[in-house]
């Protein structure tokens, strides 16, 4: 598999312009990294998965994985814009030609941002089929009513992909049927039935809750067929999991490099703390676990790019990489002693940021349930 060294170097160079001070200042005020996202957009990194005929670079998923890994490895945070890369996949695979021509070229230039993805709801959580937001067809418009939670970047996106129920759930119906995907024009919707409320979280993630109060969405904004939305969303999950896993590998590398660097330089009792096996071994173990996770990411990418459906590998890659970054984050704090808690070292910030991936976009338990049921043939537990 290609390593994309040229892409990695170019992304690392761009990230040099956004050092720890930049992220710390944003973190303090919970502000969106606008300049960073603009720089990535202008350089064309966020549109590399968009096919060339729609104005993107048409590169494979492994190139996008390289971009996101390098962003995290440089200490930056791709969480501000990573969805821009994979959310458009639903439109690309299931949208009409007219929809693709209408949106993709402008997403590729950065004129339009499609990085809000409204799936999770407060009462249904992981049980997506139980979501309550409805979209009722009235003439040539859908009337949307309900609420989403954790809709990240909603305030920094021009378009939102929304999953809503268009066919009421009746007895005997599969609960993941009857859901549809709509493209919501945020500019038109805001103040006309759409309200966005930011949620303060332990890290700077620009996440929100959104409320739909008879929001009107043109019927032509329906993606694909009515009632098949859950399948469309599912079809993008492998790419999403693999890209998030790449970010976690990047985070783990940042933590390991930072921890090893500090362990070499910090002297206590007249010698480098890294001379103690109690300090070396946890870093070495974190390194080994990161490398193993990286191999699973590559395996998932290889299968994905061969046109296979690597559901198990994509999920395992995400879980193992999130575990590796979480472990490396913990080791990095421990290696730094008290300084691990000081803002100016960036360790505590990255520690908070990487913790998210144990829970989102899918929590570890649900990955284990997937493997139990679909790989090991065990009874479904829920
Ligand atoms: C910062 C942030 C950003 C996010 N961004 C987005 C976004 O942009 N768009 C979007 O749609 N969503 C987003 N999410 C939502 C995210 O995908 C969910 O939080 C996640 O899928 C878990 O759902 P939940 O929070 O409702 O937890 P719940 O479903 O309530 O689960 C709570 C806990 O119970 C466990 N659990 C639940 N059911 C089972 C079971 N059957 N077996 C074993 N354990 C179980 C879970 O693993 C979890 O640990 C975001 C979340 C966060 C925190």
Class of the domain covering 236-375: mainly alpha
Interval between CA 4 and ligand 1 midpoint (Å):
33
Beta bridge partners of 195: 211
Query: Given the CA of residue 369, which atom of ligand 1 is nearest to it?
Result: 42
Average pLDDT over residues 70-97: 96
Task: For ligand 1, atom 45, name the residue with the nearest CA.
Answer: 365
State the pLDDT at residue 343: 98
Task: For ligand 1, atom 41, name the residue with the nearest CA.
Answer: 382
Task: For ligand 1, atom 7, name the residue with the nearest CA.
Answer: 151
Interval between CA 78 and ligand 1 midpoint (Å):
20
* pLDDT exceeds 90 at position 1: no
* pLDDT exceeds 90 at position 35: yes
Given ligand 1 and candidates 124, 155, 361, 369, which is best to mutate, with the most ligand atoms within 8 Å of its CB? 361
Given ligand 1 and candidates 125, 131, 205, which is best to mutate, with the most ligand atoms within 8 Å of its CB? 125
Counting residues of the chain whose pLDDT is more than 70, the rounded percentage is 100
pLDDT in tens, 205-229: 999 999 999 999 999 999 999 999 9
- For residue 286, with 0-12 CB atoms within 10 Å meaning exposed, 13-18 middle and 19 or more buried, which class applies? buried
Interval between CA 127 and ligand 1 midpoint (Å):
9
Neighbours of 32 (CB within 10 A): 16
Interval between CA 363 and ligand 1 midpoint (Å):
6
pTM: 0.98
Domain ranges of the chain: 5-112, 115-227, 236-375
Average pLDDT over residues 232-250: 96
Task: For ligand 1, atom 48, name the residue with the nearest CA.
Answer: 363
State the pLDDT at residue 141: 98
pLDDT in tens, 102-147: 999 999 999 999 999 999 999 999 999 999 999 999 999 999 999 9
3-state secondary structure of 145: strand
pLDDT in tens, 289-346: 999 999 999 999 999 999 999 999 999 999 999 999 999 999 999 999 999 999 999 9
* pLDDT exceeds 90 at position 77: yes
Average pLDDT over residues 247-266: 98
Question: For residue 238, how far is the Cα from the chain centroid?
Answer: 12
Element (H or E) spanning 220, and its range? none
Query: Which residue reads 């537990």 in tokens?
Result: 381
* pLDDT exceeds 90 at position 278: yes
Q: Which residues does ligand 1 sit against, CB inside 6 Å?
A: 117-120, 125-126, 150-152, 201, 205, 207, 356, 359-363, 365-366, 369, 381-382
Angstrom CA distances, 185 to 74, 136, 153, 158, stand at 33, 17, 14, 6
Angstrom CA distances, 160 to 225, 230, 365, stand at 18, 16, 28
Task: For ligand 1, atom 19, name the residue with the nearest CA.
Answer: 360
Interval between CA 366 and ligand 1 midpoint (Å):
9
Query: Which residue reads 């913990």 in tokens?
Result: 330
Query: Given the CA of residue 119, which atom of ligand 1 is nearest to it?
Result: 11
Task: Please say whether the structural domain 5-112 has been given the CATH code 1.10.540.10.
Answer: yes
Task: Please say whether the structural domain 115-227 has been given the CATH code 3.90.550.10.
Answer: no
């Amino acid at each position: 598999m290609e390593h994309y060294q040229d892409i990695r170097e170019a992304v690392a160079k761009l990230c040099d312009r956004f050092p720890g001070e930049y992220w710390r200042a944003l973190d303090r005020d919970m502000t969106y990294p606008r300049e960073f996202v603009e720089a990535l957009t202008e350089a064309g990194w966020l549109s590399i998965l968009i096919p060339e005929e729609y104005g993107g670079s048409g590169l494979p998923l492994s190139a996008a994985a390289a971009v996101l890994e390098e962003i995290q490895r440089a200490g930056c945070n791709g969480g501000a814009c990573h969805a821009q890369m994979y959310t458009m996949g639903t439109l690309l695979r299931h949208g009409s030609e007219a929809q693709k021509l209408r949106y993709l070229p402008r997403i590729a230039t950065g004129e339009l941002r499609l990085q809000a993805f409204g799936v999770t709801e407060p009462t249904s959580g992981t049980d997506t089929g139980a979501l309550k937001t409805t979209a009722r067809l009235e003439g040539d418009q859908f009337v949307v009513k309900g609420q989403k939670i954790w809709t990240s970047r909603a305030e920094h996106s021009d378009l939102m992909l929304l999953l809503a129920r268009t066919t009421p759930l009746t007895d005997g119906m599969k609960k993941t049927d009857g859901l549809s995907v709509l493209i919501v024009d945020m500019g038109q919707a805001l103040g006309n039935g759409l309200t966005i409320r930011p949620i303060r979280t332990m890290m700077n993630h620009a996440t929100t809750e959104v409320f739909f109060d008879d929001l009107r969405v043109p019927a032509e904004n329906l993606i694909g067929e009515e009632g098949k939305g859950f399948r469309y969303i599912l079809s993008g999950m492998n790419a999403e999991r693999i890209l998030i896993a790449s970010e976690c590998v990047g985070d783990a590398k940042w933590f390991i490099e930072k921890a090893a660097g500090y362990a070499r330089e910090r002297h206590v009792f007249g010698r480098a703390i890294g001379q103690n096996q109690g300090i070396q071994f946890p870093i070495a173990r974190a390194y080994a676990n990161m490398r193993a996770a990286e191999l699973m990411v590559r395996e998932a990418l290889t299968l994905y790019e061969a046109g296979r459906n690597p559901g198990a590998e994509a999920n395992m890659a995400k879980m193992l990489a999130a575990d590796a970054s979480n472990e490396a984050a913990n080791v990095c704090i421990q290696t730094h002693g008290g300084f691990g808690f000081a803002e100016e070292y960036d360790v505590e910030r990255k520690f908070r940021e990487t913790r998210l991936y144990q829970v989102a976009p899918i929590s570890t338990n649900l990955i284990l349930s997937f493997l139990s049921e679909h790989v090991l043939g065990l009874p479904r537990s829920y």
